[in-house]
């Protein structure tokens, strides 16, 4: 574990609960100006994991932004592309020894199984950093000839201070997937992790300086929606990138920020966009979730389609934006597919357990608010669709929920139209290609889709016709990647 973090917090010498009473600002753990704080519970048993986590106020935000600007204009501005790449490579080396402990921290508060760490989490983060290490010298710009007597040169330049507002379901992976392109292009970054999962992000902070990034280039501010609001409206921030999470309401806007990255709920994303527009028209990138369709035609390999579509809804207990929550199966094979799919969903309940046990494939929902939201949607759905699998709590403690399947939802059923963010799917039959394209596109979401067929011409047609950012052929998403020995995709 990071020596600096361990000396500050004694993470692996002290019993739980741990007091995380500092933020990471300008290369050091700093005491917050704010007296407000929050605590975190383990969703497997409701025990206290950490307390005294500060909610950064406007003073903390101003200090972090000032430090970021100083870093942007300081030594970091003179780093060559090869020097930035070298920092990335050193960071990858550091994470070889540090990453597992860091990811274990977030497992304590999110319910993410530690069984994901050796493969999916580690490889995803490592490959992301290595990829962007190769982008540091690719900002080429453009040239226009002197046909009017002037040579025109277009340069790509960094924006400056950027902000990442991250989700709770994959906090460390989101940290790196936003930090990597930001730093590769010469920007600096302030990370605001979800109030449900800030521990791993706090642990990551010092590793950037150990890897050679100057102090202030990467900082971590903890807090709730009010902290996100202060960052999203700060006049000296140039971009915000937001990734979905269900947060407390954004309130307390002040005219202050300029690039923000945010992942989270649609309602919160709208508020961030408004804050950005009302402050300095900073750039905003929003990733707000999905209601992803998996489409199974009658010529598909049924076993492969079942495996991918089940994994696609159960990854992280359904708490992923690309979850395959709408399943469309062609009528000719619907009986066989539904039988196998429902059996697989029932059997998956056996793999739900203690997320800190490496034998568990699936864990609980992240917190009581998430659990109550999903359970309420299931209750309402019983009047709008046929419940055929699950729907009940597992055990008498913790936030464990059975994998759940509904059949034949009404066309406007909430469970069919809205993202659940839990292990809940709906199955609907179709007859023709034209029909299923219309059904798949009848959604406000358009993030991920999967098409299962042996007909390459149909696969190519559907990949164009479906209004989705990514369309997998005989798979849904690499997030729900299955072992290679399955030989199914």
**Partners of 406 in the β-ladder:** 387, 426
Q: Beginning with the edge strand found earlier in the chain, give each strand of the sheet holding 18-19 in spatial order.
A: 18-19, 47-54, 37-42
User: Structure tokens of 429?
Assistant: 């039959």
Whether the CA torsion 198, 98, 127, 363 is positive or negative: it is negative
Q: Would you put residue 471 in left (φ > 0), alpha (ψ -120 to 50) or beta?
A: beta
Q: How far apart are CA 484 and CA 364, in angstroms?
A: 27
Residues 189, 218: contact at Cβ < 8 Å? yes
Q: Which of 119, 488, 115, 112 is nearest to 307 (CA)?
A: 488
Tokens 């709906």 belong to 426
Strands (E), 15-65: 18-19, 22-25, 28-31, 37-42, 47-54
Q: Beginning with the edge strand found earlier in the chain, give each strand of the sheet holding 470-473 in spatial order.
A: 386-389, 404-407, 424-430, 326-330, 293-296, 448-452, 470-473
**Partners of 286 in the β-ladder:** 242, 262
Half-sphere exposure of 75 (CA within 13 A, CB side): 9
User: Structure tokens of 81?
Assistant: 């592309």
Encode 313-339: b = buried (16+ Cβ within 10 Å), e = exposed.
Answer: bbbbbbbbbbbbbbbbbbeebbeebbe
Q: How far apart are CA 282 and CA 273, in angstroms?
A: 9
285 CB contacts (<8 Å, ≥6 apart)? 239, 240, 241, 242, 260, 261, 262
**Cα distance from N-terminal residue to C-terminal residue, the chain:** 38
204 CB contacts (<8 Å, ≥6 apart)? 102, 172, 175, 176, 220
- Catalytic annotation on 372? no
From 287, 384, 434, 444, the catalytic residue: 287
Helices 302-314, 334-348: inter-axial angle, 10-degree rounding = 40
- Residues annotated as catalytic (active site), given as ranges: 287
């Amino acid at each position: 574990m990071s020596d600096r973090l361990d000396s500050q917090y004694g993470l692996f010498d002290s019993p739980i609960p741990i007091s995380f009473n500092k933020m990471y600002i300008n290369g050091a753990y700093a005491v917050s100006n704010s007296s407000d704080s929050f605590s975190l519970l383990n969703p497997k048993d409701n025990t206290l994991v950490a307390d005294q986590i500060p909610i950064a106020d406007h003073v903390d935000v101003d200090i972090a932004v000032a430090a970021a600007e100083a870093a942007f204009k300081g030594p970091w501005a003179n780093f060559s592309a090869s020097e930035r790449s070298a920092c990335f490579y050193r960071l990858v080396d550091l994470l070889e020894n540090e990453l597992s402990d860091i990811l274990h921290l977030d497992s304590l508060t999110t319910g993410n199984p530690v069984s994901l760490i050796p493969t999916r989490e580690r490889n995803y983060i490592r490959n992301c950093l290595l990829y962007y290490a190769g982008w540091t010298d690719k900002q080429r710009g453009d040239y226009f000839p002197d046909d009017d007597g002037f040579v025109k040169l277009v340069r790509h330049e960094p924006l400056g201070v950027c902000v990442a507002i991250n989700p709770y379901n994959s906090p460390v992976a989101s940290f790196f997937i936003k930090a990597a392109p930001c730093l590769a292009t010469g920007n600096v970054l302030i990370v605001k992790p979800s109030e449900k999962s800030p521990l791993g992000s706090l642990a990551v902070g010092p590793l950037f300086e150990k890897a050679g990034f100057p102090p202030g280039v990467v900082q971590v501010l903890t807090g709730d929606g009010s902290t996100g609001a202060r960052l999203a409206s700060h006049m000296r921030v140039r971009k915000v990138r937001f990734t979905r999470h269900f947060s407390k309401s954004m309130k307390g806007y002040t005219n202050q920020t300029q690039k923000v990255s945010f992942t989270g709920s649609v309602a919160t994303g709208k508020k961030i966009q408004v804050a950005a527009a009302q402050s300095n028209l900073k750039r905003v990138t929003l990733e707000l979730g999905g209601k992803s369709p998996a489409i199974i035609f009658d010529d598909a390999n049924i076993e492969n389609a079942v495996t991918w579509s089940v994994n696609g809804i159960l990854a992280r207990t359904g708490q992923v934006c690309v979850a395959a929550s709408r399943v469309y199966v062609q009528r000719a094979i619907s009986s066989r597919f539904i039988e196998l799919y429902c059996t697989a969903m029932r059997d998956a309940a056996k793999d739900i357990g203690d997320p800190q046990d490496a034998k568990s494939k699936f864990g609980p929902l992240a917190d009581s608010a998430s659990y109550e939201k999903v359970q309420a949607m299931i209750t309402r759905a019983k009047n709008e669709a046929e419940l055929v699998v699950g729907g009940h709590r597992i055990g008498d403690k913790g936030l464990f929920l059975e994998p759940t399947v509904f059949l034949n939802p009404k066309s406007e059923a909430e469970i069919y139209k809205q993202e659940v963010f839990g292990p809940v799917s709906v199955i609907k039959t179709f007859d023709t290609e034209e029909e299923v394209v219309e059904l798949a596109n009848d959604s406000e979401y358009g993030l991920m889709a999967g098409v299962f067929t042996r007909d390459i011409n149909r696969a190519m047609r559907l990949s164009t016709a479906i209004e989705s950012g990514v369309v997998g052929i005989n798979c849904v998403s690499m997030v729900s990647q299955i072992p290679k020995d399955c030989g199914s995709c």
